[in-house]
A = this chain, B = another copy of it.
Amino acid sequence: MIPDKTVERLSLYRWLLEGRVEPGTVHLFSHQLASMACVTPAQVRRDLMAIGYTGSPNKGYRVKDLSKSIGRVIDGDEPAQVALVGMGNLGRAIVSFLRGRRSALKVVATFDSDATKAGRMISGCMCYPQGKIEEVIEEKRISVAILTVPAEAAQKVADRVVEAGVRGILNYAPVPLRVPEWVFLENRDVTAALEKVAYFARQSAEGKSR
């Protein structure tokens, strides 16, 4: 099993390889990729070891091959289907952001509790009423859910999508979620992140003045 952090970096490496290298570049050294990703060369080599990709000494890694190898590991055979629940400001922003990116991941359904949004295309994606969560998730074989609902609703929505078969949740609601241990959960609380940044910013400022 590939560790958490490594998967995140692999995703970044691939993105860099697909369009951020000098056009025409065939080979790439670990220190070049490291420099682009702002990590150490050793880190890059260890990450690539995790997916079993192997370059050649004195030549480095083949850009195309590497990018494909990462894709095979991260995306698997068929791309995952994604749903987003909660078409508020944040939800709409994320949907339209994701639409603009090439990715194996496609948001194929969105949900909102506001019935007036139901049945319409919003930000380029069909929006269903929340009552249809189970039905649509099962029908479209959705395995990943993004939650951008208010704190009060988050746990209930999480329970429902899990019950319907979702295996991974990306949670933007500022509340901890209780999910079965076989569901992967990633929390992205904006406030917590901001408070963390502010804390370390202050530490840095104090260290400097001292």
Interface residues in A29-79 (C-beta closer than 8 Å to B) = 36-38, 73-76
Check if A90 sits within 8 Å of B101, measured CB to CB: no
Question: How many of these chains are in the complex?
Answer: 2
Q: What is the distance, in angstroms, from A121's C-beta to the closest C-beta of chain B? A: 16
Check if B103 sits within 8 Å of A4, measured CB to CB: no
A97 to B191 Cα, complex, angstroms: 9
Chain B proximity mask over A164-178: 1 for CB below 8 Å, otherwise 0: 001111100010111
A193 to B74 Cα, complex, angstroms: 12
Q: Which residues of B contact A88 (CB under 8 A)?
A: 93
Check if B11 sits within 8 Å of A195, measured CB to CB: yes
Check if A194 sits within 8 Å of B76, measured CB to CB: no
A109-117, A132-140, A202-210 - interface stretch: A202-210
Please tell me which one of the listed residues B4, B89, B189 contacts residue A92 in the complex, with CB atoms under 8 A apart. B89
Q: Which residues of B contact A76 (CB under 8 A)?
A: 199, 202
Please tell me which one of the listed residues B2, B92, B144, B190 contacts residue A198 in the complex, with CB atoms under 8 A apart. B144
A157 beta carbon closer than 8 Å to chain B? no
Q: Contact residues of A with B, CB < 8 Å? A: 1-2, 4, 7-8, 11-12, 15, 36-38, 73-76, 80, 82, 88-90, 92-94, 96-98, 101, 103, 105, 143-144, 146, 166-170, 174, 176-178, 182-184, 186, 188-205, 207-208
